[in-house]
């Protein structure tokens, strides 16, 4: 059994070292926003808007490679032994997507799994292209649907079903951001349509007993990101996170950072914050990390 901490839900473009932010901003003559980091209760759309700046620093393959390498180093330094890094290569436009993905893999150098993210609203062709990139690259262990749905989106979750089905057929892991302040029905769709093995955030999983049963019975792991959830405003405080309720329902759940820079966290800090939740002791912490180690995507 793996020991140490795990972090399966960590976004590359939200997890740049502060010193690297300063260096890359200087290199690109970009001003660093004074309100870059997340703040409690800011809301999901405001949080997503922060990525415009960090993405501006990561348009070239060498920048992506550097940050991926540093992220692996920093995770190991905080006790992480199981790491997966995710990003949307289509947002890094300084080179073709295959070169961007290969740059991330060079930076990772076998120290973590890489997950490629489609975004809510992306066309099916884009999700297909990500699966095409993943199939021959064993370092790419999964695909994700990230961000959040919006009324103006032409494409919905169901439109990505063929791409996620093809990923499943090729042994590529599937995870989906779902139930992050949105109905439990979104979690059901992620599991039944996209064959999700893991759910990012999943805060509404207990709102519908049938969804709770579905997630439990299929052994779906929820990627909990308590600090991020508090900052985005889907829980009023870290202490109010439903982690103990999930464990009491025999749901599989692990602890994750989401964005180390933007949320000012790391795996060790996140674990310490989870300890402040009533009903969480060392036995529960060990269980949460064991779930994470067991849920890593393998190819």
Give me the active site residues, please.
180
∠ CA 246-84-144, rounded to 5°: 75
Distances (CA, A) of 291 to 1, 23, 134: 11, 37, 25
Task: Check residue 118 and give left, alpha or beta (phi > 0: left; psi -120 to 50: alpha).
Answer: beta
- Gap between the Cα atoms of 234 and 256, Å rounded: 16
- Gap between the Cα atoms of 299 and 297, Å rounded: 7
Structure tokens that stand for 44 in this block:
């999901």
The number of angstroms, rounded, from the C-alpha of 70 to the middle of its chain's C-alpha atoms is 17
- Gap between the Cα atoms of 241 and 29, Å rounded: 40
């Amino acid at each position: 059994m793996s020991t140490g901490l795990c972090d399966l839900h960590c976004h590359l473009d939200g997890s740049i070292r502060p010193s690297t932010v300063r260096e890359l901003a200087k290199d690109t003559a970009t001003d660093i926003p004074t309100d870059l980091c997340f703040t409690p209760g800011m809301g999901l759309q405001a949080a997503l808007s922060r990525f415009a700046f960090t993405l501006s620093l990561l348009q070239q393959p060498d920048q992506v490679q550097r940050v991926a390498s540093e992220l692996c180093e920093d995770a190991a330094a905080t006790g992480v032994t199981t790491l997966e890094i995710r990003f949307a290569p289509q947002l890094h436009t300084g080179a073709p997507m295959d070169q961007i993905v290969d740059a991330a893999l060079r930076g990772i150098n076998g120290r973590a799994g890489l997950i490629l993210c489609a975004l809510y609203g992306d066309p099916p062709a884009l999700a297909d292209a990500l699966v095409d990139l993943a199939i021959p690259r064993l370092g790419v262990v999964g695909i994700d649907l990230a961000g959040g749905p919006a009324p103006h989106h032409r494409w919905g979750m169901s439109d990505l079903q063929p791409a996620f089905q093809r990923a499943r057929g090729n042994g590529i892991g599937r995870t989906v951001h779902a139930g992050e302040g949105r109905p439990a029905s979104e979690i059901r769709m992620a599991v039944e349509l996209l064959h999700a093995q893991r759910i990012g955030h999943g805060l509404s999983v207990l709102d519908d007993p049938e969804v709770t049963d579905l997630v439990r019975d299929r052994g779906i792991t929820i990627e909990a990101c308590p600090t991020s959830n508090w900052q985005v405003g889907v829980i009023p405080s870290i202490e109010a996170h439903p982690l103990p309720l999930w464990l009491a329902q025999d749901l599989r759940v692990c602890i994750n950072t989401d964005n180390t820079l933007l949320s000012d966290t790391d795996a060790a800090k996140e674990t310490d914050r989870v300890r402040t939740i009533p009903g969480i002791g060392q036995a529960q912490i060990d269980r949460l990390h064991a779930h994470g180690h067991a849920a890593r995507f393998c190819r």
